[in-house]
Protein backbone atom coordinates (compact mmCIF):
# COMPACT_ATOMS: atom_id res chain seq x y z
CA UNK A 1 0.00 0.00 0.00
CA UNK A 2 1.19 3.53 -0.79
CA UNK A 3 2.47 5.56 2.18
CA UNK A 4 -0.02 8.45 2.76
CA UNK A 5 2.83 10.87 3.53
CA UNK A 6 5.84 9.51 1.68
CA UNK A 7 9.34 10.68 2.44
CA UNK A 8 11.24 11.64 -0.71
CA UNK A 9 14.97 12.18 -1.07
CA UNK A 10 15.57 15.08 -3.47
CA UNK A 11 18.97 15.21 -5.17
CA UNK A 12 20.11 18.74 -6.05
CA UNK A 13 17.38 20.14 -3.76
CA UNK A 14 19.14 23.47 -3.45
CA UNK A 15 19.77 23.75 -7.19
CA UNK A 16 17.85 25.80 -9.73
CA UNK A 17 15.70 22.91 -10.92
CA UNK A 18 15.28 20.26 -8.21
CA UNK A 19 14.66 23.23 -5.92
CA UNK A 20 11.35 23.62 -7.77
CA UNK A 21 10.42 20.00 -7.02
CA UNK A 22 10.69 20.46 -3.23
CA UNK A 23 7.65 22.78 -2.78
CA UNK A 24 5.62 20.67 -5.24
CA UNK A 25 6.23 17.63 -3.04
CA UNK A 26 5.49 19.51 0.16
CA UNK A 27 2.14 20.73 -1.16
CA UNK A 28 1.28 17.08 -1.88
CA UNK A 29 1.94 16.19 1.77
CA UNK A 30 5.25 14.46 1.11
CA UNK A 31 8.12 14.96 3.52
CA UNK A 32 11.28 16.04 1.76
CA UNK A 33 14.75 14.92 2.72
CA UNK A 34 17.14 17.17 0.79
CA UNK A 35 20.47 15.74 -0.35
CA UNK A 36 22.97 18.57 -0.04
CA UNK A 37 26.69 18.83 -0.15
CA UNK A 38 28.44 19.96 2.95
CA UNK A 39 27.75 23.73 2.80
CA UNK A 40 25.89 25.31 5.78
CA UNK A 41 24.20 27.73 3.34
CA UNK A 42 22.71 24.75 1.44
CA UNK A 43 21.20 23.31 4.63
CA UNK A 44 19.54 26.64 5.36
CA UNK A 45 18.32 26.98 1.77
CA UNK A 46 16.86 23.43 1.73
CA UNK A 47 14.92 24.11 4.91
CA UNK A 48 13.58 27.40 3.54
CA UNK A 49 12.29 25.57 0.45
CA UNK A 50 10.33 23.23 2.72
CA UNK A 51 12.62 20.24 3.32
CA UNK A 52 11.96 18.74 6.74
CA UNK A 53 15.19 16.72 6.77
CA UNK A 54 18.61 17.31 5.30
CA UNK A 55 21.04 14.53 4.38
CA UNK A 56 24.59 15.59 3.79
CA UNK A 57 26.06 13.57 0.97
CA UNK A 58 27.78 13.49 -2.37
CA UNK A 59 26.82 11.58 -5.51
CA UNK A 60 30.50 10.60 -5.74
CA UNK A 61 30.43 9.00 -2.29
CA UNK A 62 28.41 5.78 -2.34
CA UNK A 63 28.45 5.41 1.44
CA UNK A 64 26.84 8.83 1.87
CA UNK A 65 24.08 7.77 -0.54
CA UNK A 66 23.42 4.55 1.41
CA UNK A 67 22.73 6.69 4.51
CA UNK A 68 20.75 9.30 2.59
CA UNK A 69 18.23 6.79 1.18
CA UNK A 70 17.65 4.96 4.46
CA UNK A 71 13.90 4.87 5.16
CA UNK A 72 12.75 6.94 2.17
CA UNK A 73 9.83 5.92 -0.06
CA UNK A 74 10.96 7.78 -3.17
CA UNK A 75 13.94 9.48 -4.81
CA UNK A 76 14.04 12.41 -7.25
CA UNK A 77 17.31 12.48 -9.15
CA UNK A 78 18.79 15.10 -11.50
CA UNK A 79 22.42 14.90 -12.59
CA UNK A 80 24.76 17.90 -12.43
CA UNK A 81 25.07 19.41 -15.90
CA UNK A 82 28.05 18.33 -18.03
CA UNK A 83 29.81 16.52 -15.15
CA UNK A 84 32.29 14.01 -16.65
CA UNK A 85 30.98 11.27 -14.32
CA UNK A 86 27.29 12.20 -14.52
CA UNK A 87 26.34 8.65 -15.55
CA UNK A 88 28.32 7.04 -12.72
CA UNK A 89 26.72 9.41 -10.19
CA UNK A 90 23.22 8.56 -11.46
CA UNK A 91 23.91 4.83 -11.41
CA UNK A 92 25.23 5.10 -7.84
CA UNK A 93 21.99 6.82 -6.80
CA UNK A 94 19.81 4.21 -8.56
CA UNK A 95 21.74 1.34 -7.00
CA UNK A 96 21.66 2.82 -3.51
CA UNK A 97 17.89 3.38 -3.78
CA UNK A 98 17.23 -0.09 -5.14
CA UNK A 99 19.34 -1.79 -2.45
CA UNK A 100 17.51 0.17 0.27
CA UNK A 101 14.09 -0.99 -1.02
CA UNK A 102 12.98 2.47 -2.21
CA UNK A 103 9.68 2.09 -4.09
CA UNK A 104 9.63 5.05 -6.45
CA UNK A 105 12.38 6.73 -8.45
CA UNK A 106 11.96 9.76 -10.70
CA UNK A 107 14.84 10.59 -13.00
CA UNK A 108 14.94 14.04 -14.62
CA UNK A 109 16.79 13.07 -17.80
CA UNK A 110 16.77 14.97 -21.10
CA UNK A 111 14.88 14.96 -24.40
CA UNK A 112 16.46 12.62 -26.95
CA UNK A 113 18.89 10.84 -24.61
CA UNK A 114 19.75 8.56 -27.54
CA UNK A 115 21.24 11.55 -29.38
CA UNK A 116 24.60 10.29 -28.18
CA UNK A 117 26.53 12.81 -30.30
CA UNK A 118 25.90 15.14 -27.31
CA UNK A 119 27.67 13.96 -24.18
CA UNK A 120 25.10 15.51 -21.82
CA UNK A 121 22.44 13.39 -23.56
CA UNK A 122 24.52 10.19 -23.78
CA UNK A 123 25.30 10.38 -20.05
CA UNK A 124 21.61 9.87 -19.23
CA UNK A 125 21.33 6.52 -21.07
CA UNK A 126 23.24 4.35 -18.55
CA UNK A 127 21.16 5.83 -15.70
CA UNK A 128 17.93 4.95 -17.50
CA UNK A 129 19.30 1.48 -18.25
CA UNK A 130 20.20 1.00 -14.59
CA UNK A 131 16.61 1.85 -13.61
CA UNK A 132 15.20 -0.80 -15.97
CA UNK A 133 17.18 -3.42 -14.04
CA UNK A 134 15.58 -2.64 -10.68
CA UNK A 135 12.19 -3.44 -9.21
CA UNK A 136 11.48 0.23 -8.43
CA UNK A 137 8.48 2.05 -9.90
CA UNK A 138 10.35 4.50 -12.10
CA UNK A 139 9.22 7.58 -13.99
CA UNK A 140 11.66 9.01 -16.51
CA UNK A 141 11.26 12.64 -17.53
CA UNK A 142 12.64 13.81 -20.90
CA UNK A 143 12.47 17.61 -20.74
CA UNK A 144 13.54 19.88 -23.61
CA UNK A 145 15.40 23.17 -23.11
CA UNK A 146 14.27 24.91 -19.91
CA UNK A 147 12.50 28.29 -20.13
CA UNK A 148 14.40 29.16 -16.93
CA UNK A 149 17.49 29.63 -19.16
CA UNK A 150 15.67 32.63 -20.63
CA UNK A 151 14.97 33.84 -17.08
CA UNK A 152 18.72 33.84 -16.44
CA UNK A 153 19.26 36.08 -19.49
CA UNK A 154 16.36 38.41 -18.61
CA UNK A 155 18.27 41.15 -16.71
CA UNK A 156 20.52 41.59 -19.74
CA UNK A 157 17.49 41.66 -22.08
CA UNK A 158 15.94 44.43 -20.00
CA UNK A 159 19.20 46.38 -19.74
CA UNK A 160 20.39 46.14 -23.37
CA UNK A 161 17.20 45.45 -25.36
CA UNK A 162 18.78 42.37 -26.98
CA UNK A 163 18.15 38.67 -26.40
CA UNK A 164 21.20 36.74 -27.53
CA UNK A 165 21.92 33.04 -27.92
CA UNK A 166 24.84 31.58 -29.88
CA UNK A 167 22.87 30.02 -32.72
CA UNK A 168 20.82 31.49 -35.59
CA UNK A 169 17.77 33.50 -34.63
CA UNK A 170 15.65 31.41 -36.99
CA UNK A 171 16.50 28.05 -35.34
CA UNK A 172 13.46 26.60 -33.58
CA UNK A 173 14.18 25.23 -30.12
CA UNK A 174 11.68 23.29 -28.00
CA UNK A 175 11.20 24.70 -24.48
CA UNK A 176 9.48 23.69 -21.26
CA UNK A 177 8.87 25.53 -18.00
CA UNK A 178 10.66 23.45 -15.36
CA UNK A 179 7.79 24.20 -12.95
CA UNK A 180 5.67 21.86 -15.08
CA UNK A 181 8.41 19.23 -14.95
CA UNK A 182 8.61 19.66 -11.17
CA UNK A 183 4.84 19.26 -10.85
CA UNK A 184 4.94 15.98 -12.78
CA UNK A 185 7.88 14.75 -10.73
CA UNK A 186 5.90 15.37 -7.55
CA UNK A 187 2.80 13.65 -8.99
CA UNK A 188 4.93 10.65 -9.98
CA UNK A 189 6.36 10.41 -6.46
CA UNK A 190 3.03 10.71 -4.64
CA UNK A 191 0.53 9.00 -6.97
CA UNK A 192 0.45 5.87 -9.11
CA UNK A 193 -0.65 7.30 -12.44
CA UNK A 194 2.80 8.14 -13.85
CA UNK A 195 4.53 4.92 -12.75
CA UNK A 196 6.66 3.28 -15.45
CA UNK A 197 6.10 6.25 -17.79
CA UNK A 198 8.81 7.83 -19.89
CA UNK A 199 7.57 11.29 -20.76
CA UNK A 200 8.72 13.75 -23.43
CA UNK A 201 8.18 17.16 -21.85
CA UNK A 202 7.83 20.09 -24.23
CA UNK A 203 5.52 23.11 -24.24
CA UNK A 204 6.30 24.30 -27.78
CA UNK A 205 9.00 25.21 -30.28
CA UNK A 206 10.07 28.79 -30.95
CA UNK A 207 12.77 30.66 -32.83
CA UNK A 208 14.53 33.60 -31.17
CA UNK A 209 12.69 35.82 -33.65
CA UNK A 210 9.42 34.53 -32.16
CA UNK A 211 10.75 35.04 -28.63
CA UNK A 212 11.88 38.65 -29.10
CA UNK A 213 8.55 39.45 -30.66
CA UNK A 214 6.83 38.16 -27.47
CA UNK A 215 9.34 40.07 -25.32
CA UNK A 216 8.71 43.29 -27.26
CA UNK A 217 4.95 42.94 -26.86
CA UNK A 218 5.13 42.14 -23.15
CA UNK A 219 7.65 44.88 -22.33
CA UNK A 220 6.08 47.43 -24.69
CA UNK A 221 9.41 48.29 -26.31
CA UNK A 222 11.51 46.72 -29.04
CA UNK A 223 13.81 43.81 -28.16
CA UNK A 224 16.10 42.50 -30.88
CA UNK A 225 17.55 39.03 -31.44
CA UNK A 226 21.33 38.87 -31.06
CA UNK A 227 23.44 36.26 -32.85
CA UNK A 228 26.77 36.28 -30.95
CA UNK A 229 29.52 33.71 -31.42
CA UNK A 230 29.70 31.14 -28.64
CA UNK A 231 32.78 32.92 -27.21
CA UNK A 232 31.04 36.32 -27.13
CA UNK A 233 27.93 34.80 -25.57
CA UNK A 234 29.93 32.85 -22.97
CA UNK A 235 31.85 35.95 -21.90
CA UNK A 236 28.55 37.63 -21.00
CA UNK A 237 26.77 34.60 -19.56
CA UNK A 238 29.54 33.99 -16.98
CA UNK A 239 28.42 30.44 -16.21
CA UNK A 240 30.15 28.63 -13.34
CA UNK A 241 31.52 26.01 -15.73
CA UNK A 242 34.98 24.58 -16.42
CA UNK A 243 36.50 24.74 -19.93
CA UNK A 244 35.36 21.17 -20.51
CA UNK A 245 31.78 21.95 -19.51
CA UNK A 246 31.81 25.04 -21.77
CA UNK A 247 33.08 22.90 -24.65
CA UNK A 248 30.15 20.48 -24.18
CA UNK A 249 27.70 23.37 -23.99
CA UNK A 250 29.16 24.78 -27.23
CA UNK A 251 28.42 21.41 -28.88
CA UNK A 252 24.79 21.65 -27.78
CA UNK A 253 24.54 25.08 -29.39
CA UNK A 254 26.23 23.83 -32.59
CA UNK A 255 23.57 21.14 -32.71
CA UNK A 256 20.81 23.74 -32.31
CA UNK A 257 22.42 25.81 -35.08
CA UNK A 258 22.25 22.89 -37.50
CA UNK A 259 19.06 21.11 -36.48
CA UNK A 260 17.24 23.19 -33.87
CA UNK A 261 15.67 21.09 -31.10
CA UNK A 262 12.49 19.19 -31.80
CA UNK A 263 9.75 18.56 -29.27
CA UNK A 264 6.05 17.77 -29.13
CA UNK A 265 3.65 18.97 -26.42
CA UNK A 266 1.24 16.01 -26.58
CA UNK A 267 2.71 14.05 -23.67
CA UNK A 268 3.19 17.04 -21.35
CA UNK A 269 -0.38 18.14 -21.93
CA UNK A 270 -1.75 14.64 -21.28
CA UNK A 271 0.38 14.05 -18.18
CA UNK A 272 -0.53 17.40 -16.60
CA UNK A 273 -4.20 17.13 -17.59
CA UNK A 274 -4.09 20.82 -18.57
CA UNK A 275 -2.35 23.17 -20.99
CA UNK A 276 1.38 23.37 -20.24
CA UNK A 277 2.75 26.72 -19.09
CA UNK A 278 3.53 28.55 -22.33
CA UNK A 279 6.60 30.54 -23.26
CA UNK A 280 4.34 33.56 -23.70
CA UNK A 281 3.13 33.29 -20.08
CA UNK A 282 6.71 32.74 -18.85
CA UNK A 283 7.82 35.96 -20.59
CA UNK A 284 4.73 37.80 -19.33
CA UNK A 285 5.65 36.87 -15.74
CA UNK A 286 9.18 38.17 -16.25
CA UNK A 287 7.86 41.42 -17.75
CA UNK A 288 5.39 41.89 -14.88
CA UNK A 289 8.16 41.38 -12.31
CA UNK A 290 10.25 43.98 -14.17
CA UNK A 291 7.36 46.45 -14.14
CA UNK A 292 6.78 45.77 -10.42
CA UNK A 293 10.45 46.39 -9.53
CA UNK A 294 10.72 49.55 -11.69
Ligand X SMILES: NC(=O)c1ccc[n+]([C@@H]2O[C@H](COP(=O)([O-])OP(=O)(O)OC[C@H]3O[C@@H](n4cnc5c(N)ncnc54)[C@H](OP(=O)(O)O)[C@@H]3O)[C@@H](O)[C@H]2O)c1
The residues that touch ligand X, with contacts defined as CB under 6 A, are 12, 14-18, 37, 39, 42, 58-60, 78-81, 110, 120, 143, 145-146, 149
Q: Which of 200, 220, 208, 217 is nearest to 268 (CA)?
A: 200
**Distance, CA of 232 to CA of 214 (rounded, Å):** 24
* 3 or 153: CB nearest ligand X: 153
Residue 52 DSSP label? S
* 98 or 120: CB nearest ligand X: 120
Q: Which of 49, 58, 66 is nearest to 13 (CA)?
A: 49
The residues, ordered by sequence, that sit 6+ positions from 269 with a Cβ below 8 Å of its Cβ are 275, 276
Least spacing, CB of residue 220 vs ligand X, in Å: 28
Least spacing, CB of residue 34 vs ligand X, in Å: 9
> Is residue 83 helix, strand or coil?
coil
* 29 or 242: CB nearest ligand X: 242
* 6 or 143: CB nearest ligand X: 143
Least spacing, CB of residue 163 vs ligand X, in Å: 16
Q: Which of 141, 121, 259, 146 is nearest to 197 (CA)?
A: 141
How would DSSP label each residue in 141-194?
A: EEE-EETHHHHHHHHHHHHHSEEE-SS-TT--EEEE-HHHHHHHHHHHHHSSTT
Least spacing, CB of residue 174 vs ligand X, in Å: 10
* 102 or 141: CB nearest ligand X: 141
Least spacing, CB of residue 83 vs ligand X, in Å: 6
What residue number has its CB nearest to ligand X? 15
Amino acid sequence: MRAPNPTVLVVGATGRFAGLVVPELVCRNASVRALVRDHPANVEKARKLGASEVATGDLRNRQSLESAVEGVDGVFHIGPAFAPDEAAMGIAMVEAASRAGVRKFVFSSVIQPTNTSLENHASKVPVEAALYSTNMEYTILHPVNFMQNIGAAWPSVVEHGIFSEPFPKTAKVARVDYRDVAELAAIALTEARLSYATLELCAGMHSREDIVSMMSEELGRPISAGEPTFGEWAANARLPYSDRQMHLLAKVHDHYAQFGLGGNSLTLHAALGREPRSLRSFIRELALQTAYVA
